[in-house]
Structure 1
Amino acid sequence: MPAPGATHGAGIEPGLTRLPGPVRKVCPVVLRDGAILAFRHPRAGCQLVKGTPELGETAVCTASRELREESGLTLTPLRHLGRLPVAVPGMVWDFVLMQGGIIPDRFAHHCDDDGGHLFRFFWHPLGAGGGREWHLAHVHALRQVNRLLVRKHPAQDTRRSPMRCARHARQASPNA
């Protein structure tokens, strides 16, 4: 089994993948009242939702799919916040801001990944960093999310239209 956060994926252009190349991950960023949605993995500590883009899948589509698979939540991508290196050389993460839905303070979701796990979700204060219970790659990802949010100020501009992945746009269009 690969180490957490160390699977395949590489960038061609924003959101598209091919092998070989840097390890690519996509992290849907869900915010509420100065906190970010996180979960406790039963074997790998506290983490943010993240996953590997499938071949030809955009970061926006990956964010929606991974959030649904790992948390059971179906939220709308608002904007791509950026792509930054995370944790180890050769690993980059795309961060996609998500919006919508009422999310409980704490909840659990059974994820089918790696034979099935029960992920326990909670809200982690932004800027708090991560402690010993956090997976190292996700401690670094928390710092990168904070850096992107300070640079982009997404909470102050909610007028932008939600992003749609091409797959969903084709399904919604009667002319597709």
Structure 2
Amino acid sequence: MEERVRKREVKVCPIVLRKSGNYRELLLFEHPLADVQLVKGTLEQLDISIESAALRELEEESGLSRVSSTHYLGSWESGFRNHLWHFVLCKIDQELPDNWSFFTQDDGGHEFNFFWYKVGSEPDFKCHKVFSDTIKQVEILCI
């Protein structure tokens, strides 16, 4: 019996952090149909690099386009649907609000509600296991 091999899907995840007092916060959003997530998307053929794909996804999903620098943090085998995630730290010099909404054209259009999560704290929101695992992975990469 021939075993079906699932094609690897490459995901890019722009990481936006801010300092708040003595701790750091990670940008997350609530999807109206799929709970809390990080900004992420699929590496597309037209992307010239992991970093450019991360910048594209950040602008498409959050509206943030004024990134002053990027830094590749590494990759991670998520164990979910053969996804390989690449993390890119995106530095934004402007002060961002504590929360905001952005209407994205993804999947026919959705309003994403952005907020900050205190890195290392116990999550008080609902999210898919792949996203809770991703948050833990980001915390490891950002320590």
Range class of TM-score, shorter chain: 0.7 to 0.9
Question: Does the 8 Å contact 1:60/1:77 carry over to 2?
Answer: no
Shift of 1:124: 0.7
Selected match of 1:32 from 11, 15, 18: 18
SS in structure 2 at match of 1:124:
strand
How many Å separate the matches in 2 of 1:85 and 1:124? 23
Higher strand share: 2
User: What is the TM-score normalised by the length of structure 2?
Assistant: 0.84
| Deviation string, structure 1 residues 17-65 (Cα, Å, up to 9, x no partner) | xxx7312110000001211000000000000000011115211011100
Identity of aligned residues (%): 38
Q: How many residues align?
A: 131
If each structure's helix is expressed as a fraction of its own residues, which one has the higher value? 1
RCO higher in structure (CA 8 A, sep ≥6): 2
User: Counterparts of 2:9 and 2:69 in 1: how far apart (Å)?
Assistant: 22
TM-score (norm 1): 0.69
Q: Which amino acid aligns with 1:79?
A: H
Q: What CA distance in whole angstroms lies between the structure 2 residues aligned with 1:42 and 1:89?
A: 22
Change beyond 3 A, Cα 1:89–1:111: closer
Task: Go from structure 1 to structure 2 and tell me whether the alpha carbon gap of 1:89 and 1:51 turns closer, same or farther (over 3 Å shift).
Answer: closer
2:138 corresponds in structure 1 to 145
Greater than 6 Å deviation, 4+ residue runs:
none
**Cα distance in 2, alignment partners of residues 77 and 125 from structure 1:** 22
Corresponding letter in the other structure for 2:11 = K
The answer (yes or no) to whether the contact 1:77–1:96 under 8 Å persists in 2 is no
Q: Which runs of 5+ in 1 are unaligned?
A: 1-19, 151-176
CA deviation after TM superposition for structure 1 residue 129, in Å: 5.1
Aligned residue number for residue 59 of structure 1? 50
CA distance in 2, matches of 1:23, 1:131: 29
The aligned counterpart of 1:14 is none
Aligned equivalents of 1:135, 1:111: Cα separation in 2: 20
Q: Which residue of 1 aligns with 2:113?
A: 120
Partners in 1 of 2:122 and 2:9 — Cα distance?
23
